[in-house]
Structure 1
Amino acid sequence: MIKIVEYIGDKTLHALSALNDIFYFTFLCSVSMFLPSSYNPAMRSVLIKQIYFTAIEILPLFAILSILFGTVVIGVVISVSVEYGLQEQMGSIIIKFVVDEFAPFFTALLISLRSSAAVNAEIAVMKVNKELNTLKEYKVDLVSYLFIPRIISGILSVTALTTLFAIIMLLAGYVFVFFYMSFDLHSYKMLLLNAIELKDLLILFAKGIAFGFMTMLIPIYSGLQAFNSYTAIPISVLKGMVRLFISIFVIEVLSLLVQFL
């Protein structure tokens, strides 16, 4: 019995210590983002490269997926709305599903699988190769040079791509509406414009910022936890991705609670 209590106590202390570390790291990065001194030329150079890697390179694939999902998903939403006699609420249903939920969530998952995993592995390799120690020896601020550019690029990229994803999905959805319900473009446009509210746009941007922040913060933190061994790199990436997916689902659940409570 004593061993069980000791085991539970040890695990609890370890979890609280890890939680304290990540909260401190989050606080440190958040504060540094608002310091003018963080935005030096080296930081801006890294930021531009990171935005290109995170948001620009993925645009062709992103556009194709947006069109495919827009046609199929909105088609399903419209079919269900018609089946249950909800034609009058169809515009609101499309906006709520696409703008408030699907676009931010899917964009966060896509960026996580591509950019977040890469950032996690990059930081872990630098930790194992002692490159981070070398930068410290040369008095390079790791937070402003390595961490902040990636976090800001995550926020900007996810928010921009979420907005783009929602727009392309809504436009692609017109293809299904045209063939299924013989809607003209003007009627479809007015259906969406009459349904969308300021609250929907605020939710879109708020989720984009929250998801973007987490898609870079957690991989960076996980990469820093890698031990001085190459075998620790895949373990670090695995743990980082698990933590990231959990945080994405937590943000999504909290968002739903805030909207409907």
Structure 2
Amino acid sequence: MRRKSYLHTTPSRWGPLLVATASSWWYMLHLGAISLVMAFSPTTYNKENRRATSRHLYIGLWQVLPWFTMLSALVSLVLIRIVVVSALSYGLSRYALEMVVRVLVLELIPLSAAMFVALRAGLAFNPRDALAVAVATADSKEAAARAQNRLRRELVPQVISSAFSVLALAMVSSIMVLVLAYLVVYGFSPWGLGDYTRTVGRVFDPLVTIGFGLKTVMFGLAVAVIPSAAMLEIQRRGRAPSTSVQPGAMRLLFVLFSIEAASLAVKYI
């Protein structure tokens, strides 16, 4: 049965719909907490799980890292050039580099990396039906143990891979953008290193650096957990997706933009 939205149902049904929505969000948070605990547990990293994690990292990160970095560098180069030329035309050249770092490195690169990983890996997550059945029917100690083992083998490697992929793509692309920004502003001359490091250091003060790292980690966790939880919830409840959109897509976008909005509010308000 399809779940109706608040706009397409009567007010008398808003209560059950609100309960169902809260239950869905709680299931997602609960699954994310379980995945994090298992990811930090030494017992998770046996030979089979290490092999599965390596396979996911190779497919989700290593295969796409070179051309994603090249694509982000190409787009960033165009944006950097536009910003620098515009700043020169208005006599604001001294603010061009700082604007590039604040907009591209701090905001756009982490968000684009998270959305890319979500489209490639997170939203394509499709666990086997046996895993969902095991999780849903874990009503005994034996069933719970089997469900826990399946989570370690099937879900945790995917979560680790997605989270680490967001971090790696964001960090590598940010370094590439910083190099390109220097080359566009100062060329190949080494005499701009002093001004460049002072400008970048002024942007990346301790609080901004901590916020940047925390935001990127939260992006990675959201991309890793939300699509997986949506697929498992659908299989656990035995119902079809309520829309033609990939399960968890709208919720993931909402969480990503909420994190970004909260980050902007903390830094600039």
| TM-score normalised according to structure 1 size | 0.82
Paired residue for 1:194? 198
- Distance in 1 separating the partners of 2:239 and 2:19: 26
| SS of structure 2 residue aligned to 1:118 | coil
Residues 1-261 of structure 1: pairs in structure 2 closer than 5 A: 4-119=10-125, 122-123=126-127, 126-127=128-129, 130=130, 132-133=132-133, 139=146, 141-174=149-182, 176-177=184-185, 183-196=187-200, 197-199=204-206, 200-227=208-235, 232=240, 238-261=246-269
CA contact (8 A) 1:95 1:192 kept: no
Paired residue for 2:4? none
Moved more, 219-228 or 96-105: 219-228
- Distance in 1 separating the partners of 2:238 and 2:37: 32
- Distance in 2 separating the partners of 1:11 and 1:132: 23
Give 1:233 deviation, angstroms: 7.3
Give 1:198 deviation, angstroms: 4.0
Give 1:176 deviation, angstroms: 4.0
Give 1:187 deviation, angstroms: 4.2
Q: Percent identity?
A: 23
Amino acid in the other structure paired with 1:83: S
Moved more, 5-14 or 246-255: 5-14
Moved over 6 A (4+): 134-138, 228-231
Any gaps of 5 or more consecutive residues in structure 2? 1-8
Tell me how large the CA RMSD over aligned residues is: 2.9
CA contact (8 A) 1:55 1:157 kept: yes
Amino acid in the other structure paired with 1:172: L
Larger helix proportion, structure 1 or 2?
1
Amino acid in the other structure paired with 1:32: M
Give 1:70 deviation, angstroms: 2.2
CA contact (8 A) 1:78 1:90 kept: yes
Deviations 1:203-227 (A, max 9, x none): 3322221111111101110111234
Give 1:50 deviation, angstroms: 1.0
Amino acid in the other structure paired with 1:149: P
Deviations 1:41-70 (A, max 9, x none): 222111111111111010232122122112
Q: Structure 1 residues 35 and 215 mapped into 2: Cα distance closer, same or farther (>3 Å)?
A: same
Give 1:5 deviation, angstroms: 3.7
Give 1:247 deviation, angstroms: 1.2
Any gaps of 5 or more consecutive residues in structure 1? none
Q: Structure 1 residues 246 and 72 mapped into 2: Cα distance closer, same or farther (>3 Å)?
A: same
CA contact (8 A) 2:241 2:247 kept: no
Q: Structure 1 residues 154 and 191 mapped into 2: Cα distance closer, same or farther (>3 Å)?
A: farther
| SS of structure 1 residue aligned to 2:29 | helix
CA contact (8 A) 1:71 1:175 kept: no
CA contact (8 A) 2:49 2:157 kept: yes
Deviations 1:144-187 (A, max 9, x none): 22222222222222111111111222333455446xxxx44324
Amino acid in the other structure paired with 2:39: M
Q: Structure 1 residues 40 and 8 mapped into 2: Cα distance closer, same or farther (>3 Å)?
A: same
CA contact (8 A) 1:92 1:192 kept: no
| TM-score normalised according to structure 2 size | 0.80
